[in-house]
Amino acid sequence: MPHLRSRRRLALAVPVVLSLTASLGFLPVAASAAPQAETSAQAVDAPNLAYVVNTKLDRRTIEAVKKAVPAAGGTVVITYEKIGVIVVHSSNPDFGKEIRRVRGVQSAGATRTTPLTAAGSTDEGSAQFLSKEQAAKVESASAATPDSEPLEADQWDLRAIGADKAAKINPGSRKVTVAVIDTGVDDTHPDLAPNFSASQSANCVGGVADTSEGAWRPYTADDYHGTHVAGEIAAARNGIGVAGVAPGVKVSGIKVSDPDNGLFYPESVVCAFVFAADHGVEITNNSYYVDPWLYNCMDDPDQRAIVDAVNRAQLYAQHKGLLNVASAGNSNHDLDSDAIVDDSSPDDSTPVERTIDPHECFDVPTQLPGVVTVSATGVQNLKSYYSTYGKGVIDVAAPGGDRLYQIPDTPSKNGRILSTMPNGQYAFLQGTSMASPHAAGVAALLKSTHPKATSAQLQALLKAQADATACPESYDQDGNGTQDAVCKGGKHVNGFYGHGIVNALRAVK
């Protein structure tokens, strides 16, 4: 397809695993979690870790590897036969080494550096809730003009991509669902309830989908991230609060955040992609990177196994027609440079500073092949100061907000993005986490008008219809005389905006 960027290096490193899905295809088989009698000797006090074991895709190999797991001191949690990914728990410190020697194992490694029972802290950043005056408007339909929502005057982001006008032409189809892979979604919020799809929602934490009533909801109001994202995509036009980019489509929640430390571990994300693909979802939104590594290096056996497992799952979803949309990251990193200093990984134990090459070490899922990578802009259509960027990496840009340098002429003068929060609340947040759902919303509008589009075709449409945005002549946002980031490329594709800023109005015309 035109405009699809080459990811040859990554594609070579990670086997494409979809060819046998037709002959293997069944639902994931949950294995017995009962303790195994033949567990090998284990070091005293060794931490119990989770692993992904990625195998060749024939059933005999998968069965043989499953049998080898207890011999290496592990317990099978679940087997995703269609993609050859086995989730294992083990307290044998040599489990990874031992299982990698088994015939048919293509990669295997620990998905965490801290024991399964450990608790940690989370740093969600700070949300800015509405002022009393703004909050009073939330349910006051009379405050709105007939064509707008009570708080829409503060939604500069909708106007920036023509989503206010698009909604009057086509708000999107009920046959399109965007799954929010995140901290859970509070579907009881009055702005989300009308468009929520419970049958396409689950709790995937630990790698096994739990579809019991409400399992997809956030643990507490502090886990607000997924609820904010869901509102940006599909908050209803119902005379209450705010509107989303595609208020006519459905949204679902797939929770992947660990209850102890809030982290998004690989096995949970593998579960989420497979669940979405098997439950008729059209688009996934991924406003996160898979923990515990901000960048996963292919020369490390654990990190390589993480890339392999998550990539198999997201490719499986693409093969079923899903478009996976992901945030670029909030580190103002240039993913087209030769060296990035990562001092935050692993984020579930003690981070160690390392210098990585983003062509060999990957932010997952955003740098995986076929995933739409989204950078963030503010009200001036300039890259947000925090947004990660990179020529050949960013596919499109979308509003994510900029509270420091791009202040809108709105009632609140708040440069961030206003959306839904748990317990019926609203708040402003900024980040590429907010940009990705704007792109996912526009993709949902495109899928509504092009229901037969494949994943690659939908991505091509999203890029072709984006507003091409040239590199700025200067990017010294803090005004100290040095450039804060360097934009490479021309008007039609560059490192700050990819193929441009997504456009909702063009998507429905």
476 binds Ca ion (CB under 5 A): yes
Dist CA 371 CA 307 (whole Å)? 13
What one-character-per-residue DSSP string does 279-333 give?
Answer: TT--EEEE-S--SS-SSEETTSHHHHHHHHHHHHHHHHHHHTTPEEEEE--SS--
Q: What does the block give as tokens for 380?
A: 């001036």
Stretch that binds Ca ion, among 203-211, 235-243, 416-424, 449-457 (CB under 5 A): 235-243
482 binds Ca ion (CB under 5 A): yes
Question: Are 427 and 151 in contact, with CB atoms under 8 Å apart?
Answer: no
Site size for Ca ion (CB under 5 A) = 11
CB of 235 to Ca ion, least distance (A): 5
Instruction: State the distance between the two ends of the chain, measured CA to CA, in whole angstroms.
Output: 22
Dist CA 100 CA 162 (whole Å)? 51
What one-character-per-residue DSSP string does 159-222 give?
Answer: HHTTHHHHHHH----TT-EEEEEES---TTSTTTGGGB-GGG-EE-GGGS-B-STTTTS-SSTT
- Which residue lies nearest Ca ion, judged by its C-beta? 476
Q: How many residues does the chain have?
A: 509
149 binds Ca ion (CB under 5 A): yes
Stretch that binds Ca ion, among 34-42, 173-181, 477-485, 499-507 (CB under 5 A): 477-485
CB of 485 to Ca ion, least distance (A): 9
484 binds Ca ion (CB under 5 A): yes
CB of 437 to Ca ion, least distance (A): 15
Which CB atom, from 468 or from 486, has the smaller least distance to Ca ion? 486
240 binds Ca ion (CB under 5 A): yes
The residue from 191, 302, 347, 348 that contacts Ca ion (CB under 5 A) is 191
Stretch that binds Ca ion, among 16-24, 240-248, 326-334, 495-503 (CB under 5 A): 240-248
CB of 486 to Ca ion, least distance (A): 11
Q: Is the dihedral of CA 340, 364, 244, 439 positive or negative?
A: positive
The residue from 139, 147, 343, 478 that contacts Ca ion (CB under 5 A) is 478
164 binds Ca ion (CB under 5 A): no
CB of 250 to Ca ion, least distance (A): 15
CB of 463 to Ca ion, least distance (A): 29
Residue 314: how many CB atoms within 10 A of its CB? Answer: 29
The residue from 96, 226, 241, 358 that contacts Ca ion (CB under 5 A) is 241
Question: Are 270 and 87 in contact, with CB atoms under 8 Å apart?
Answer: yes
147 binds Ca ion (CB under 5 A): no
**At CB < 8 A and 24+ separation, what contacts does 130-138 make?**
130/418, 130/425, 130/426, 130/427, 131/412, 134/411, 134/412, 134/426, 135/426, 138/240, 138/241, 138/426
Dist CA 75 CA 69 (whole Å)? 7
Which CB atom, from 147 or from 476, has the smaller least distance to Ca ion? 476
Which CB atom, from 189 or from 391, has the smaller least distance to Ca ion? 189
Which CB atom, from 19 or from 480, has the smaller least distance to Ca ion? 480
Q: Which residues bind Ca ion (CB under 5 A)?
A: 149, 191, 236, 238, 240-241, 476, 478, 480, 482, 484
